Amino acid sequence: MTAGSQSANLAIDGGKDSSTSSSTCATTYKQSRPWWRLDLQAAYRVSTVVVTYRDDSVPGQTKDIQVKLGNSLWNNGNSNPRCTVISSDSAANSFIYSCSNQEGRYVNVFHNDWWDFLSVCEVDVYETGDRT
């Protein structure tokens, strides 16, 4: 569930402003294991997913965030196979997740923290081949 006017579609609007004053980021309420999902409308082979998070200098904000890609909506898509995980805290606010030509329709950005929020400013998905 997103917070107020910070709706999910803001993460695919082309706006990459990640400043704390930005109104182009999708942000969840503080909750258990927050997530954001993109429906590609068909299954694709994906090479990389680039996610830009809000730059608010909160330690650990991007630690243990996973990008998952698959065709299932079971558990809101959060049980789909993982592309990769950012396991260290970094000053960067954009991360490139390698999906190694994994196939799927649903792209989930999943924060594995028990109680936190998730703020996603932009998600770019890059296909490796023809649509399946």
Q: Is residue 1 part of a domain?
A: no
Residue given tokens 């649509």 in the structure block: 131
Using one digit for the tens of pLDDT, what is the confidence trace for 35-91?
999 999 999 999 999 999 887 655 556 677 899 999 999 999 999 999 976 665 566
Contact (Cβ atoms closer than 8 angstroms) between residue 10 and residue 24:
yes
Higher-pLDDT residue of 24 and 82 is: 82
Would you say residue 58 lies in a domain?
yes
Q: CA-to-CA distance for 11 and 41, rounded, in angstroms?
A: 16
What average pLDDT does the chain have?
A: 84
Residue 108 lies in domain: 8-127
Domain tally, the chain: 1
- The pLDDT value recorded for residue 89 is 58
Domain CATH code at residue 49 = 2.60.120.260
Match 């068909």 to its residue by tokens.
42
User: Does residue 47 lie within any of the structural domains?
Assistant: yes
The answer as to whether 132 is a domain residue is: no
User: How is the beta sheet containing 119-127 ordered, strand by strand?
Assistant: 26-27, 119-127, 35-53, 94-111, 65-70, 82-86
Q: Is the pLDDT of residue 132 over 70?
A: no
